[in-house]
A and B are shown apart, each in its own frame.
Chain A
Amino acid sequence: MMNIQKSHSLSGPVLLTILLFIAPLVMPTYWVILLSEILIMGLMAVSFNLLLGYTGLLSFGQGAFFGIGAYSAALMLQAGHENLFLILLAGMLVPLLAALVVGFFSVRLDEIFFAMITLGFGMLFFSIAHSWIDVTGGSDGLPVFALPGLNLFGVVQLTFYAPISMYYLIFVTVLICVCLLRMIVHSPFGLILKAMRENKQRVSYAGGNVRVLRIAAFAISGAFTGLAGVLFCLFNNMATPEFMHWSFSAKPVIMSVIGGTGVFLGPLFGAGVFFILEQIIIQFTENWMFFLGIVLVPIVLFFPEGVFGTLRNKFYKVAGRGLQPPSARGKRQKNEKGTV
């Protein structure tokens, strides 16, 4: 029997983890804070890409779950619950439930119709957050004064008050989530997600209930997006309705397109490019979105699999004759046997 085992190279992700671990020790504080934000938005983008890159669903309402996670954290902190684990747990469960409801109504649609209904739900949540002033603080947002911390065996005290300490809390949470998401995309469930992306009718005729499978994917994505929202609320000291606005929901879309939807870590890479570009452009002009557009056009034109995805495939082509790029998509190799 020939070898059908798929290899997943871990050297890249391990190197990245080490780099991200040492980064705050050698970087100026300003960049540590920026890197924290990149990691949070990167988690949102990777969770989002579980839908776009793996399941083939373009959700334009991920901001809603991000915001629900953020508000869950802010409300818990306001009520005096400062246990970090409880906050993270609630910040996953509440968006999970919301995503189950939204998914229930949305997943029967495809493509642009799915994008529009999720955008609609997102704006519905935005309106609630914006108008329900007694609970959410309306357009001013909900500030957070007391921040949770983590006491490691009485030796190290990590808090969200100091930038480096905050960075490590975010880094570890994001790392765990990304590892879990990676496990999911390589699992049997992950295979069926890719199968649905390719051909949902065939999944149905393979015996799979497409609707339930899609709802599950949507809920998992929503839960991790919500967790990113919790982190952002702690990072930002505030939950605001802006998180739920459709323009915020566009961010993971842009990040995934920049980084590449076909590669697991592509969207995280895209988040990095997004924020670093913003930092550079903002030095010259306030109108940075205009320049983002100018950058986005060539990316879409010349990097069909995203910057990260395309460069990585080039690297494998040049450097690794024997290596195969681990990919969300199937291996694109020529049919050496020829035709029958």
Chain B
Amino acid sequence: MSADSVLHIENLGHSYGKFKVIEDISLSIGKGEMSALIGPNGAGKTTFYNAISGKFKPSKGKVFLNGEDITGLPSHRIVNKGMCRSFQITNIFAELTVAENVFSPLVIQQNKHFRLHGNVFKDRQITEKAMHTLEQVGLSDRADQAVSTLAYGDKRLVEMALVLVRGPTVVLLDEPTAGMNPEETENMISLIRKLAKNSKTTFFITEHDMKVVFSLAEKIYVLHQGLLLAQGKPQDIRANEQVQEAYLGRKTHA
């Protein structure tokens, strides 16, 4: 494990019964890097994310966050150690307002979630941080709206805000532009790029849209049938014959 690796994964594998969804994945992500995980449908990207983010315990292998073994820890403990994630299917608090959505992770982070008195709306430690994040993602003018009334693209932004508001060291984004129209996609990409440039946060994203991946990532990992097929800089991945065959090639012929 290199000294500056923030997220280090060793021989990770997960199977449902006899069916191996992911197998023997090892990778190391450096601090502040912007990496992407790609692969065709069913390659095991979401399973990989779930296994490292504590949704379930992987059947094999180890996951290290900042050098600390976090394998199989429940999700809330992994989040408290500084790794937050978004979901492919929008996963927010639908009937709460945008502000309340963003307050919630802060209440927990500041260890106020067992406080039975006081008002979050009057807690400046929370409201100021929340407003800062909402300004970052461009939702500050909608803070008091119920998120159920927002347009789809804005809901995805709430999801981003929920991930970012705690100031995590590692951010996992599972298809951040899934289901978005071209304009919303554009908007999301420039947001991610801006965030990556301005912070020391390490981003690790999965993405369907190759345009997004190649325009964002400094390093790309290719997952194919549960195995790590290749890794490298975007131009190397583009030139890699195996990858072309397994993935990119099929796309261009289609």
Contacts and interface: CB of A to CB of B under 8 A. Distances in A.
Interface of A: 1-6, 183-184, 186-189, 191-192, 194-195, 197-199, 201-210, 213, 216, 220, 329-335, 337-340
A8 to B, nearest CB: 9
B114 A189 contact: yes
B131 to A, nearest CB: 6
B146 A332 contact: yes
A339 B113 contact: no
A172 to B, nearest CB: 21
Interface of B: 53, 74-76, 79-80, 84-85, 91-97, 99-101, 103-105, 107-109, 112-123, 127, 131, 140-151, 153-154, 162, 166, 183-184, 187
B167 to A, nearest CB: 12
Nearest to A3: B144
Contacts of B114: 189, 213, 216
A133 B103 CA distance: 51
Contacts of B141: 2, 337
A338 B151 CA distance: 8
A216 B93 CA distance: 20
A189 B113 contact: yes
A188 B76 contact: no
B104 A203 contact: yes
A187 B96 CA distance: 15
Nearest to A328: B95
Nearest to B110: A188
What 9 A-B pairs are tightest by C-beta distance, nearest first?
A330-B146, A206-B105, A339-B151, A198-B93, A207-B79, A188-B112, A4-B143, A207-B108, A195-B104
A305 to B, nearest CB: 12
25 contacts: A2-B144, A186-B119, A187-B118, A187-B119, A188-B115, A189-B114, A191-B100, A195-B104, A198-B92, A199-B91, A199-B92, A199-B93, A204-B76, A206-B108, A208-B76, A208-B104, A213-B114, A330-B95, A331-B145, A333-B145, A335-B145, A338-B151, A339-B154, A340-B151, A340-B183
A226 B97 CA distance: 33
Contacts of A199: 91-94
Among A202, A216, A339, the most chain B Cβ lie within 10 Å of the Cβ of A202
Contacts of A210: 76
A311 B204 CA distance: 49
Contacts of B92: 198-199, 202
A188 B162 contact: no
A3 B121 CA distance: 10
Interface of A is mostly: loop
Contacts of B116: 183-184, 187, 189, 220
Given A188-B107, A205-B75, A340-B184, A334 B149 contact: yes
A183 B116 CA distance: 7
Given A331-B146, A333-B146, A334-B149, A205 B115 contact: no
B160 to A, nearest CB: 13
Given A1-B131, A199-B91, A205 B113 contact: no
B118 A188 contact: yes
Q: Which of A186, A198, A206, A331 has the most CB of B within 10 A?
A: A206
Given A330-B96, A339-B151, 9 more contacts: A4-B97, A188-B118, A197-B95, A198-B94, A198-B95, A204-B75, A205-B79, A205-B91, A207-B79
A202 B121 CA distance: 21
B148 A330 contact: yes
Contacts of A333: 145-146, 149
Contact of B117 (A6, A187, A329): A187
Contacts of A192: 104, 107-108, 113
